Amino acid sequence: MAKAKPATGSAARWAKRVERLGRSGLSIRTFAAREGLKAGSLSFWKWKLAQRGQWNGRAQAEGMAPVQFVELTARPAAPARVGFEVVLSSGRMVRVASGFDAGELARLVGVLEEARS
């Protein structure tokens, strides 16, 4: 792999322009128009400096370390734990999770039993 060459002369001027571009948050076309530059030249130098390892994008302009991505894999969610099931005389079934409120369960069963009539 080729070693990065230091920016000298014209390259140094373009490096400063590309750095200002990154800090500006503007598109290449908008920044170039504002600065009186050719958008194609600015785009070329941005690419050229990146190839040389002298520009790594917006992170460099903002003084931040380059972004690194880490692949994450999701595990399937564990099924909800069922404490027990209540089968009513109507045939309806109620699954009750562990840690239930007994008063609320009694009220629910009463409502469901009345609903069968």
108 exposure class (CB count in 10 Å sphere: 0-12, 13-18, 19+): middle
Half-sphere exposure of 30 (CA within 13 A, CB side): 7
Q: Supply the pLDDT for residue 30.
A: 92
List the pLDDT tens digit at each of the 117 positions of the chain.
Answer: 444 454 456 888 888 898 888 888 889 999 999 999 999 999 999 888 888 877 666 445 455 555 566 777 777 776 666 688 888 777 778 888 888 888 888 888 888 777 665
Cβ within 8 Å of residue 7, ≥6 positions away: 14, 15, 49, 52, 54
Model pLDDT, residue 80: 62
pTM: 0.42
C-alpha distances (whole Å) from 37 to each of 40, 49, 85, 99 are 9, 17, 74, 69
pLDDT for the residue 41: 92
Q: Where are the domains of the chain?
A: 10-61, 82-115
Maximum C-alpha span of the chain: 92
DSSP per-residue letters across 62-80: TT-PPP------PPPPPPP
Cβ-Cβ contacts under 8 Å for 81 (sequence gap 6 or more):
97, 98
